């Protein structure tokens, strides 16, 4: 892998369950990092809580960014932004040409996810199908393993980018920084595990 690789990490701001009922918009932050940890830029947008616009918003953010041609990988904290506003990584890759990966600390419990989706969404089958799509891999870290779905990149290269960009803790810096910025802007001060 070349040195000075640029990666973007996305995360959304925290929200309250009462926000879900009003279909409020939620802040989404993207942080461009020249790995391991040099911040080069920040992108922002909004998605609807539990809506169905996250895939399109992510595509717009990436395609409109002047960083686009330099990005080796886009990473998301989880497979959805704004609750269950699921991101279709196949579509994002197809429409941007940027490899993409979703990263979670916990192994997905698809039985529990299906139960929650059935309870709250008429289109639960579509959302679940999108969540289950893609190649999955478990990547060991110095702490706990992380669970990754990815598209458009070789597993070996993905593992190297994740390893190189994880400075402290479990999450790669682009995602960690996106979390810190999104929660700080939304709440006035960052908090939570990042």
What 3-state DSSP class applies to 174?
helix
CA angle 30, 125, 53 (to 5 degrees): 30
Q: What is the pLDDT, as a whole number, of residue 170?
A: 85
pTM flag (> 0.85): yes
Ordered structural domains, the chain, with CATH? 6-187 (3.30.2170.10)
User: Taking a C-beta distance cutoff of 8 angstroms, is the pair 23, 39 a contact?
Assistant: no
Q: What is the pLDDT, as a whole number, of residue 20?
A: 54
Question: 10-residue block means of pLDDT along the chain (194 residues)?
Answer: 85 74 82 93 95 96 96 95 93 97 89 90 90 85 88 94 89 93 83 63
Query: For residue 45, what are the CA distances in angstroms to 48, 109, 122?
Result: 11, 29, 26
């Amino acid at each position: 892998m070349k040195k000075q690789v640029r990666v973007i990490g996305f995360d959304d701001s925290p929200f309250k369950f009462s926000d879900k009922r009003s279909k409020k918009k939620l802040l989404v932050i993207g942080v461009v990092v020249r790995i391991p940890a040099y911040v080069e830029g920040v992108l922002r947008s909004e998605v609807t809580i539990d809506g169905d616009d996250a895939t399109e918003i992510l595509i717009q953010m990436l395609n409109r960014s002047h960083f686009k041609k330099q990005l080796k990988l886009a990473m998301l904290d989880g497979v959805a932004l704004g609750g269950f506003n699921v991101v279709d990584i196949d579509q994002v890759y197809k429409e941007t040409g940027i490899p993409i990966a979703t990263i979670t600390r916990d192994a997905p419990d698809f039985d529990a996810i299906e139960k929650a989706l059935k309870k709250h969404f008429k289109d639960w089958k579509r959302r679940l199908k999108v969540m289950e799509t893609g190649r999955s891999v478990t990547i060991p870290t110095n702490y706990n393993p992380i669970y990754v779905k990815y598209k458009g990149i070789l597993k070996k290269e993905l593992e190297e980018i994740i390893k190189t960009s994880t400075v402290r803790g479990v999450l790669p810096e682009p995602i960690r920084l996106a979390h810190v910025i999104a929660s700080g802007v939304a709440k006035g001060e960052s908090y939570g595990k990042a």
